Amino acid sequence: MVSGSTNDKEGINLLQQHGVCFESGLTSAEIKRAEAIYNIHFPKCLCDFLMQALPVSKGYYNWRDVTEKNIDYIKHVIEKPVNDLCSMAEDMEWRDEWGIEPKTKSEKIKRIKERVKCAPQMIPVFCHRYMPAVDTEEAPILSIHGTDIIYYGENLTDYIKVELGEKHQEGINFQNIMKLPFWSDLM
C-alpha cells in the first residue's frame, strides 16, 4: 500500500465509517492497465486515492476487475454523460458562448460533440458522480444525471463529506472550484 495524503486517509476513514468496503489499493501497473483499457487518464488526486485503497461497495467502480462484463459496464458509464447530452440535445439550454443555436437536433448533437472534444473527459467515481481528467490536486466532483449537472464537491475529500451527509452541498465554496471547459457552461 502506498502512503496517501492526509485527505486520502480522511476520505477513506469516512467511507469506512459509513460501511464502504475496500480492497487493497491499485498498483501502478493496474492504474496503467485501467487507463489503457478505458482510454482515460486518472487525475493525480484520484489516482493517489485509488492506490491507497479501492472502494468496491455497490455504486463504486472496480478498476481491478477486468472481466468483459465489468469492462463493458465501466465503458458505458464513461460514455454516459456525453451520450445522455446528445440524446437530450433538444432539451438543452443553448449557451450564447457556443454560437448561434442550430435549428436541427442532428446539428445540435454535432456541435455538442465538437465542444466535448475541448472538454476534460469525465471519470466515474461513484454512481453518477464524476471527476474531470485534469492535472490538479483539487479536481472537483460533478454530479451528472442527463442535463442535470452540478458541482458536488470542491475536491475528492470535500465530495465524500457531501455524499455522506457530513457537509451540505450548499456549503461548497464554489469560488474555489476551477472552471471546466464545456461542463461548467451547463451549470
pLDDT digits (tens, 9 = 90+) for 42-71: 999 999 999 999 999 999 999 999 999 999
> The cell 454530479 sits on which residue?
143
Burial of 55 from C-beta contacts in 10 A (0-12 / 13-18 / 19+): buried
pLDDT, tens digit, 9 for 90 and up, residues 152-185: 999 999 999 999 999 998 999 999 898 899 999 9
Distance CA 127, CA 15 (A): 15
pTM for the predicted model, two decimal places: 0.91
When mean pLDDT is compared across 49-58, 70-79, 114-123, the lowest value belongs to 114-123
Distance CA 55, CA 21 (A): 6
Burial of 43 from C-beta contacts in 10 A (0-12 / 13-18 / 19+): buried
